[in-house]
Amino acid sequence: MAKYPFTREASQYVEGIGLSLGDMDKPEFAPILNRAEERIFEAIKSGESKFREDLDYEVEILSFPVSVALVRALGDPFLKRRFALSEARRIQGLLSSEGPSKIVYLASTALKWKVNMKADLGRSMEFLIGFVDYLKVAPSFHDEKWKLINRIVVEGLVHLTKEELVRLMTEGIRHRFEKIVEPKLDLELPKSLRERLERIGEFLSQRKRILKAEELPKVAIIGSFPPCLKVLYESLLAGKSISHVGRFTLTSFLLAVGVGSDEIVRLFTGLADADERITLYQVEHIAGRRGSRTKYTPPSCSTLKTHGLCIENGSLCGKVRHPIIEYRRRLRLGQKAKEAVAEGFEKAQGKP
């Protein structure tokens, strides 16, 4: 229950205790408030809450609904999405270390999915999920491997590896958490919660200012591209064939760093198999201006490693988790280098 607060058992446990938000003013509930506040701060700072095994399990269980109440009370859309993602990532890490029977149990009872497992001589373990449940989440992934036509489907059951099922469950859990924190909390909060809400609001504002200061320039700086994107970009200019994942990665990255759709289309139409009309539609789709109207972001570094697109296993980038983060870092380093050169020039000219 402490690990997986979305389960029926966890909900029943919290209801059975009979606590209300008004009780949170009592000194004995301070550890619960501390942990609830910590979960939200972790979400804002890193986008991933850690499971605190060192804490009393009851604190971990009860801090979740309190943190949900605080997020709902603040009502900030960015925080709602960030909190849901943070909690889902925490659960993804926990699910990855669970045995197959526990994963099936959680998928079946908490998410209400039709899931079972099947031993297979060709693989250590294979999971089966009903295609209706599969399609509740899989379309939100833009990798080709998630398309139903590219899956093994037997008698209405989609075959998945453990890693794939955990990823699917994580996305389903994230959707659930987004619905949980969406409604506005109209209740009057006790003093202890109001004080913490004020601290959270101040920290969120500071974080947003930092993010705004780190906004990407309107013009793409090719020299600051991460190695993986630089290779893809140069391959495209050279007319070399790029994989589907590589094309998606480059397109979504170029859009994110300020390159226009028409310019991207001109880059891709240099390829032998590129049709201008289809390419324009695909670029507009990734940009969120066609189809589902969802604007896609570049894949994470871990995804790029999975598809063999990472250069030298990330040794050239340091410990970053996303190419946009590395691009920002290289932009800052480039700016500092320019300032240092300018300062050296002024000193050489005898200027103070």
Task: Single out the residue of 143, 89, 170 nearest to residue 296, CA to CA.
Answer: 143
Residues of 157-175 as b/e, b for ≥16 C-beta within 10 angstroms? bbbbebebbbbbbbbbbbb
Q: What CA–CA distance (Å, rounded) separates 254 from 258?
A: 6
Residue 288 phi/psi, 5-degree rounding, is 85, 15
Q: What CA–CA distance (Å, rounded) separates 173 from 84?
A: 8
**Predicted pLDDT of residue 338:** 57
Kind and range of the H or E element at 259? none
**Predicted pLDDT of residue 121:** 45
Q: Name residue 322's amino acid.
A: H
Is this prediction's pTM over 0.85?
A: no
- The 10 Å Cβ neighbour count of residue 48 is 16
Q: Which pair of tokens denotes residue 308?
A: 């063999």
Q: What CA–CA distance (Å, rounded) separates 169 from 173?
A: 6
**Predicted pLDDT of residue 120:** 61
Residues contacting residue 219 through CB under 8 Å, at least 6 positions apart:
258
Q: What is the pLDDT along the chain (352 residues), one digit of tens a residue?
A: 999 998 999 999 998 988 888 888 888 889 999 999 999 999 988 777 888 887 789 999 999 999 999 999 998 888 888 899 889 989 999 999 999 999 999 999 999 999 998 766 455 568 999 999 999 988 877 667 888 999 999 899 999 999 999 999 998 998 899 899 998 888 788 888 898 999 999 999 888 776 655 555 557 788 889 999 999 988 877 667 788 899 999 999 999 888 888 888 877 765 545 567 778 888 888 988 877 777 888 999 999 998 899 998 888 887 788 999 999 888 888 876 655 544 553 554 455 5
- The 10 Å Cβ neighbour count of residue 252 is 21
Among the residues of the chain, which ranges form H helices?
8-17, 30-45, 57-74, 77-96, 100-109, 131-137, 162-181, 191-213, 227-237, 244-256, 261-268, 276-286, 301-306, 323-348
**Predicted pLDDT of residue 272:** 47
Q: What CA–CA distance (Å, rounded) separates 99 from 258?
A: 44
**Predicted pLDDT of residue 142:** 60
221 and 254 Cβ atoms separated by less than 8 Å = no
List the chain domain ranges: 8-94+180-211, 100-176, 222-341
CA-to-CA separations, 248 to 50, 199, 255, in angstroms, rounded: 31, 40, 11
Query: DSSP character for 147?
Result: S
Report the CATH architecture of 222-341.
Answer: Orthogonal Bundle (1.10)
